[in-house]
Amino acid sequence: MALFHIEYSSEVLGQYRQVVVLYPDYDQVSPEERDDTDIPVLYLLHGMGGNQNSWTSRTNLERLVRKTNLIIIMPNSDNAWYTDTQYGAPYYTAICQELPKVMKRFFPNMTTKREKTFIAGLSMGGYGAFKLAMLSNQFAFAGSFSGALSMDTSLRTNTDNDIKYWAGLFGSDEAFDGSENNLVNAAKKADGKTQWYAWCGYEDFLYPANEKAIASFRELGLDIDYRNDHGTHDWYYWERQVEVFLEMLPINYVKEERLS
């Protein structure tokens, strides 16, 4: 895969932003895919404390997709939860609406079709992936790995960040509960055309939040492939899960040869 580190001007955020992109190498994909002008794309989101480099620095992602005709775009949401914040930084709009247009200018062969556009993320990024997919209805598949899918008051106060931090993102607890930042409310906007996948380990501190959220989503009619196994909140499991997700996608995912 070709690896791009791009700095671009975001009109929405009023600042230069960074994004990492994996782009399929001409000589690594199959001959029939080399002239593809409609390459599928996966937006892969980082977790809290991470950035655009997290997936490539902490996993073997580049190796896993080496021979696969897929563009992977990894943006940076800082610690803003892929949200149009109360302090005036519209990260949701910048990543969900502006970034695809910016990337299309850089990579004209990138698809604009929903059926070939996917999103996934870990922890905070799992929350972001589901929120972007629910509210925009522009993704065919959405995946959450150890996602913070239920952001109730106890979860928000059990972090190292104080009340001012969360209020700066979402406003008051009451405002959050009634807004589309609450994924239960966002799920009501989903049009039924996205396929959903979520995984969380039994030992993960977000396991109860996942159990609660998935039950609520299913009550609203979302058909979610929800899986569990033993696992903590750790990159070892997220690397395994991104491969599971890749195998689900309607792409020609070429797995590396493994003899043992």
Residue 235 lies in a domain: yes
pLDDT digits (tens, 9 = 90+) for 219-249: 999 999 999 999 999 999 999 999 999 999 9
How many structural domains comprise the chain? 1
Residue at 255 is within a domain: no
Mind listing the pLDDT tens digit for each residue in 162-200?
A: 778 888 999 988 899 999 999 999 999 999 999 999 999
Mapping DSSP to helix (H, G, I), strand (E, B) and coil, where does residue 72 land? strand
Residue 260 lies in a domain: no
- pLDDT tens-digit profile of 84-124? 999 999 999 999 999 999 999 999 999 999 999 999 999 99
Give the list of residues 6+ apart from residue 168 with CB closer than 8 angstroms, or none: 85, 86, 87
14: in domain: yes
Residue 107 lies in a domain: yes
Do residues 23 and 4 lie in contact, with contact meaning Cβ atoms separated by under 8 Å?
A: yes
Interatomic CA distance for residues 199 and 216, integer angstroms: 16
Distance between CA atoms of residues 93 and 84, nearest Å: 7
Q: Judging by beta carbons within 10 Å of its beta carbon (0-12, 13-18, 19+), is residue 239 exposed, middle or buried?
A: middle
pTM of the model: 0.96
Residue 258 located in a structural domain = no
Q: What is the pLDDT of residue 74?
A: 98
What CATH number has the domain bearing residue 51? Answer: 3.40.50.1820
- Single out the residue of 80, 75, 121 nearest to residue 95, CA to CA: 75
Asked if residue 83 belongs to a domain, the reply is: yes
Residue 178 structural domain: 2-248
Cβ proximity of 210 and 198 under 8 Å: yes
User: Could you tell me if residue 256 is inside a domain?
Assistant: no
